[in-house]
Chains A and B, each alone.
Chain A
Amino acid sequence: MPKFVISRRKFLTSASLGISGIMLSGCDAFDSQLGVGDGLRSFLEGANGLTWRAQRLLAGDSLAPEFTEADIRQPQRPNGVTAPDDDVYKGLLANDFADWRLEISGLVEKPLSLTREQLMNMPSRTQITRHDCVEGWSCIAKWTGTPLSLVLDQAVVKPQARYVMFHCLDTIDRSLSGDIKYYGSIDLIDARHPQTILAYGLNGKPLPVENGAPLRVRVERQIGYKMPKYLRRIELVDSFAAIGGGRGGYWEDNGYDWYGGI
């Protein structure tokens, strides 16, 4: 027992000395350990899985808070790409998205290709919710769209599907192997959540370009980067290992947590 006390004492002394040293030398001391793929980084990232499971347990199928018309005090603030420079997108926009289709593919029994009119003819949901950007700001707006669960039911999801991948029309980044179009994913629990809608309306008007026209997803219990804009294709997958950097989304591949409920 005394041996244990001494070794811990030594440990704590050196730990506290180490911390004071770090504080004196500045906070770049951890930079080299915190890149994507580094051991320490990967260990710390484990907490995101814990958060995911804990919040699933606590939140269950509860709804995100909804607000009143009086709470809408300003236009929805756009962020990220607000005017896609892609030729395909600009061509679709020039024709008011008449030629645009939403493809539903991957692990489904009946792949779909839907026009905006077909989506708008399905039952819709309108909700006044608060958009929380990962940067820290919030903005309240009214969103109208087709519940994603209805689209998934129509396509008949195969039992082995685990995630819904969103593929977008906008180029978010460029790499040596070409343009990177925005992509992201959520689990099937959020995909089937009643407030998860494919939104085509914002504050009573058609969805503007800066907010994701013709279609964006709303995932009201997660942070903004989990709600891709300019949707092109929805793919049901059992793993996202083969997509992008394998972490489930553009921002995830750049070091952001996959689960964005926090």
Chain B
Amino acid sequence: MQSVARSQSAVGPHTAAPKDATLIYRQSRWTRLTHWLWAISLFFMLLSGLQIFNARPQLYIGKESGFAYNNTIFAIGAENTANGPRGYTEIFGKRFDTTGVLGWSGPAGRETSRAFPSWATIPSYYDLGTARVVHFFFAWILTTTLVVWLIASLINGHLRRDLVPRIADLRRLPRDIVDHARLKFHHTREYNTLQKMAYGGVMLVLLPLMIITGLAMSPSMNAALPFLNDLLGGRQTARTIHFIVMLLLVAFFIIHMLMILAAGPINELRSIITGWSRTDPPAHGSKTPQRDA
């Protein structure tokens, strides 16, 4: 027990170590600060982004949007039918009725034609100019935070130590998937393989790709970095990728919330707000769950 207590004071900056030996200092203040900056930025960027999308609720593949030819792969719209106006979503030419949510939505009797519904956009009414103001403000916050975090994580070893999966992690992957499927969670200081893949995937793949495809839509950045759209397959393809990455981030958010609920929301919230997390008590005779700092 003595060694456990010592390693706690080594990993935690707090002078008053908790009496409970299973409480460990898991998330550094940088992780917590950047987590909440990203959470707030992504919230506003998603809702303003859906408003921006509503101005042109079609996605195309290529350099431009086809008006005299068809390169549309996704569209949300409204149409008049025998049963009144209906909202639809069209994916690769296949049409689905999405009345009430996508294409045609609003309070009963006052429905309007809009791609994403009012409750999913900022502002709630149609206003492309304002959505752009909100989107680009938080784009600066998100990007600055990610760049600072990347540099700091490379220097302080957070990336290598906690996020990039190792050979041992990959070997553990099948067991990890089974454990998650059974909602059997191990509360340790380190991330498990699926956590490493999810967090690493968001921070090292999805967010950078979001920023790159966002920049690829800027005419001025196209002049500064003309190769961007050549790599991505054209400005309209970049816009489509931007949208798909949004869907992946939303999927990540939903799984993230479900995992927090399943793993114990109080402990998880305490961990990302205060840094302190309750871990499994060390099994008799085995190594302590946390490594030395």
Interchain CB contact under 8 A, A254 and B129: yes
Interchain CB contact under 8 A, A74 and B129: no
Interchain CB contact under 8 A, B123 and A251: no
Partner of B224, one of A19, A55, A74: A55
Q: Which residues of B contact A254 (CB under 8 A)?
A: 129
List B31-65 residues whose CB lies under 8 Å from chain A: 32, 36, 39-40, 43, 47, 52-53, 55-56, 58, 60, 63-65
Interchain CB contact under 8 A, B219 and A9: no
Q: Which residues of A contact B40 (CB under 8 A)?
A: 15, 19
Decide if B133 is an interface residue (CB 8 Å cutoff).
yes
* Interface flags, B118-129, vs A, CB<8A=1, else 0: 111111110111
Interchain CB contact under 8 A, A65 and B229: yes
Interchain CB contact under 8 A, B63 and A74: no
Decide if B250 is an interface residue (CB 8 Å cutoff).
no
List A37-90 residues whose CB lies under 8 Å from chain B: 41, 44-48, 50-51, 55, 58-60, 62-65, 67, 71, 73-75, 77
Q: Which residues of A contact B229 (CB under 8 A)?
A: 65
**Taking CB as reference atom, which chain B residue is nearest A139?**
B64
Partner of B129, one of A60, A73, A255: A255
Q: Which residues of B contact A19 (CB under 8 A)?
A: 39-40, 43
Q: Which residues of B contact A132 (CB under 8 A)?
A: 217, 219, 235
Decide if A113 is an interface residue (CB 8 Å cutoff).
no
**Taking CB as reference atom, which chain A residue is nearest B228?**
A65
Given contacts A256-B132, A257-B129, contact A138 B124 (CB under 8 A): no
Count how many chain A residues have C-beta atoms less than 8 Å from C-beta atoms of the other chain.
58
Interchain CB contact under 8 A, A255 and B130: yes
Interchain CB contact under 8 A, A221 and B122: no
List B151-200 residues whose CB lies under 8 Å from chain A: none
Decide if A26 is an interface residue (CB 8 Å cutoff).
yes
Decide if A134 is an interface residue (CB 8 Å cutoff).
yes
Partner of B133, one of A9, A58, A67, A255: A255
Interchain CB contact under 8 A, B127 and A30: no
In the assembled complex, the Cα of A230 lies from the Cα of B169 at a distance in Å of: 64
Interchain CB contact under 8 A, B55 and A136: yes
**Taking CB as reference atom, which chain A residue is nearest B55?**
A135
Interchain CB contact under 8 A, B219 and A135: no
List B79-130 residues whose CB lies under 8 Å from chain A: 118-125, 127-130
Decide if A94 is an interface residue (CB 8 Å cutoff).
no
Interchain CB contact under 8 A, A74 and B69: yes
Given contacts A132-B219, A134-B132, contact A28 B63 (CB under 8 A): no
State the Cβ distance, A72 to closest chain B Cβ, in Å. Answer: 10
Decide if A261 is an interface residue (CB 8 Å cutoff).
yes
State the Cβ distance, B10 to closest chain A Cβ, in Å. Answer: 18
In the assembled complex, the Cα of A65 lies from the Cα of B121 at a distance in Å of: 33
Interchain CB contact under 8 A, A65 and B222: yes
In the assembled complex, the Cα of A98 lies from the Cα of B269 at a distance in Å of: 72
| Interface pairs (17), CB distance under 8 Å | A9-B273, A15-B36, A16-B39, A27-B118, A27-B122, A34-B122, A34-B127, A44-B137, A55-B221, A58-B225, A62-B223, A64-B222, A65-B223, A132-B217, A132-B235, A138-B236, A139-B65
- State the A residues within 8 Å of B (CB): 2, 5, 9, 12-13, 15-16, 19, 23, 26-28, 30-31, 34, 41, 44-48, 50-51, 55, 58-60, 62-65, 67, 71, 73-75, 77, 130, 132-140, 220-223, 251, 254-257, 261-262
Closest A-B pairs by Cβ, 9 of them: A261-B220, A74-B68, A136-B56, A255-B129, A28-B124, A256-B129, A137-B65, A59-B224, A47-B137
